[in-house]
C-alpha cells in the first residue's frame, strides 16, 4: 500500500487581517489577501521546499519527487500555495498536483466581524470559556473544526491506499486548522491544544513516517505558552526545531535518518525567533482576559511523537 513518506503542514503567509483586524469588518474572511511581507514569506517557503527536494535522498528515483498539494480555498492560502509551487516547479523530475479542499478553511468567525468593542468582549468570553469549545457567535468553535478535520482525514486514509499516492503531501492551511489536524492525528487532549501557541507564518510542520512501523512522528515541536528568559531563547530554539536533527561537536547528525529534513528546520530558526516577541504580547493579553490560568495543562513533548500515533494509516477509524 502506498502512502506519503512526508506530510508537511504550512500556515499561510502574513495576511492583511493579521496586521489590521479592522479588515475583517469589511472584507470577507475568504478574500483577505497576503501582505507584501506575506508574499515574501511564501516565496521563501517555496525556496525552502526546493532545497528539501535537492537532498540526496530525492535523487534515488522519480517517485521520490512526487508531491500532492492540498490548499484551503481562502485567498491567502491560495496565494501562499502559488508562491510555494513557483519555488519548486523547475526542480528536475518534480511531479506535483494541486487541489483545493474547503474542509481546510479557517475557523469561521461569523462572517463580517463587529466593532472592536464587541469583538473584544467575544475574545474575553472565549478566554474564560476555553478556546477549543467556545463557538464564535454565528461561527464555529475549534471543536467544529475538529469535525471537519476528522472528515478530511478519512478521505486521506482512503487515498493512501492508492498505489500511486505521492511521496510528499503538503497541506497549505491556517494556524488553528493545522493545530487541530495534529491534535486529531496524535490524539492530543483539548488542554494540550489550548497550551499551544499559534504557528509562525509559512513555517513547515514536518511529519515523517517510520518505514518499519508505518507511524508518523512530528519532527518540529510546537511552541507553548511557557516562555523562557531571553538569555535562553537561542538554546531553546535549537532544541525546539533541531532536537531530532541536531549537530554534535563532530558536525554529524544525532539522527542520521533525518538528514533529509534538516534544510527545512534550519530555514525556520529565524521565523520562530521572530515570533517570540509577538507571542509574548498575545500571552499577556490572554492572561489578562483569563485572569488566572486555572490549571491549564502544560503540553507534553512526548505527545508530539510516535507515541500517540498508535495505529498504522490503514486504520481509518481515527
Residue with cell 563532530: 250
| Average pLDDT score over residue span 190-219 | 88
Q: How confident is the model at residue 313 (pLDDT cuts 50, 70, 90)?
A: very low
Residue 140 near residue 60, CB atoms below 8 Å? no
Selection from 122, 66, 95, 85 nearest residue 10 by Cα: 85
* Residue 12 labeled ligand binder: yes
Cα dihedral across residues 318, 13, 110, 20: positive or negative:
positive
Beta-strand pair 168-173/204-209: unpaired
pTM value?
Answer: 0.75
How many CA atoms are closer than 13 Å to the CA of 305, on its beta-carbon side?
7
Burial class (CB in 10 A: 0-12, 13-18, 19+), 7: buried
Which of 51-65, 142-156, 285-299, 303-317 is predicted most confidently?
142-156
In this predicted model, what pLDDT tens digit does every residue of 52-79 receive, in sequence order? 998 888 876 667 899 999 999 999 999 9
* Residue 198 labeled ligand binder: no
In this predicted model, what pLDDT tens digit does every residue of 81-119 receive, in sequence order? 999 999 999 999 999 999 999 999 999 988 887 777 777
- What residues does each domain of the chain span? 6-308
| Average pLDDT score over residue span 300-318 | 44
Indicate the SS3 state at residue 164: coil
Residue 64 near residue 101, CB atoms below 8 Å? no
pLDDT at 39: 96
* Residue 179 labeled ligand binder: no
C-alpha cell read off for 268? 525556520
Tell me the CATH class for 6-308: alpha beta
Residue 271 near residue 198, CB atoms below 8 Å? no
* Residue 13 labeled ligand binder: yes
pLDDT at 30: 94
Q: What are the Cα distances from residue 76, in Å, to 73, 91, 285?
A: 8, 24, 26
- pLDDT at 170 > cutoff 50: yes
Q: What is the spatial distance between Cα 199 and Cα 176, in angstroms, rounded to a whole number?
A: 8
Strand positions, DSSP E, 137-225: 168-173, 204-209, 216-218
pLDDT at 103: 97
Residue 220 near residue 178, CB atoms below 8 Å? no
C-alpha cell read off for 267? 530555514
- pLDDT at 270 > cutoff 70: no
pLDDT at 240: 42
Among residues of the chain, what percentage have pLDDT more than 90?
Answer: 45
C-alpha cell read off for 119? 469583538
Beta-strand pair 6-11/204-209: antiparallel
How many CA atoms are closer than 13 Å to the CA of 231, on its beta-carbon side?
0
pLDDT at 127: 74
| Average pLDDT score over residue span 190-205 | 87
Active site residues: 12, 106
Q: What is the spatial distance between Cα 61 and Cα 168, in angstroms, rounded to a whole number?
A: 13
Q: How confident is the model at residue 279 (pLDDT cuts 50, 70, 90)?
A: low
In this predicted model, what pLDDT tens digit does every residue of 221-238 receive, in sequence order? 787 766 444 445 455 444
* Residue 83 labeled ligand binder: no
Amino acid at each position: 500500500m502506498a502512502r506519503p513518506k512526508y506530510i508537511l503542514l504550512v500556515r499561510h503567509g502574513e495576511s492583511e487581517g493579521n496586521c489590521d483586524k479592522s479588515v475583517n469588518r469589511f472584507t470577507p474572511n475568504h478574500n483577505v489577501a497576503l501582505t507584501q511581507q506575506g508574499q515574501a514569506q511564501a516565496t521563501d517557503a517555496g525556496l525552502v521546499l526546493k532545497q528539501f527536494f535537492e537532498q540526496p535522498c530525492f535523487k534515488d528515483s522519480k517517485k521520490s519527487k512526487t508531491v500532492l498539494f492540498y490548499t484551503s480555498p481562502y485567498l491567502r492560502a491560495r496565494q501562499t500555495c502559488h508562491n510555494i509551487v513557483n519555488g519548486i516547479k523547475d526542480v528536475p523530475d518534480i511531479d506535483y498536483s494541486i487541489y483545493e479542499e474547503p474542509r481546510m478553511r479557517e475557523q469561521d468567525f461569523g462572517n463580517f466581524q463587529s466593532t472592536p468593542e464587541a469583538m473584544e468582549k467575544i475574545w474575553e468570553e472565549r478566554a474564560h470559556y476555553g478556546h477549543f469549545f467556545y463557538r464564535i457567535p454565528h461561527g464555529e468553535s475549534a471543536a467544529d473544526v475538529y469535525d471537519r478535520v476528522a472528515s478530511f482525514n478519512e478521505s486521506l486514509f482512503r487515498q493512501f491506499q492508492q498505489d500511486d499516492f505521492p511521496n510528499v503531501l503538503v497541506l497549505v492551511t491556517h494556524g488553528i486548522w493545522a493545530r487541530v489536524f495534529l491534535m486529531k492525528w496524535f490524539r492530543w487532549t483539548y488542554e494540550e491544544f489550548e497550551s499551544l501557541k499559534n504557528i509562525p507564518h509559512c513555517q513547515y510542520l514536518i511529519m515523517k513516517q517510520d518505514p518499519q512501523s508505518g507511524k508518523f512522528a512530528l519532527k518540529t515541536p510546537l511552541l507553548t505558552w511557557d516562555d523562557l528568559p531571553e538569555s535562553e531563547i537561542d538554546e531553546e530554539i535549537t532544541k525546539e526545531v533541531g532536537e531530532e536533527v541536531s549537530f554534535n561537536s563532530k558536525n554529524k547528525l544525532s539522527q542520521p535518518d533525518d538528514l533529509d529534513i534538516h534544510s527545512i528546520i534550519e530555514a525556520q530558526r529565524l521565523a520562530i525567533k521572530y515570533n517570540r516577541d509577538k507571542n509574548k504580547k498575545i500571552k499577556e493579553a490572554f492572561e489578562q482576559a483569563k485572569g488566572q490560568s486555572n490549571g491549564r495543562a502544560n503540553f507534553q513533548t512526548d505527545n508530539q511523537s510516535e507515541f500517540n500515533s498508535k495505529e498504522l494509516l490503514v486504520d481509518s477509524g481515527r
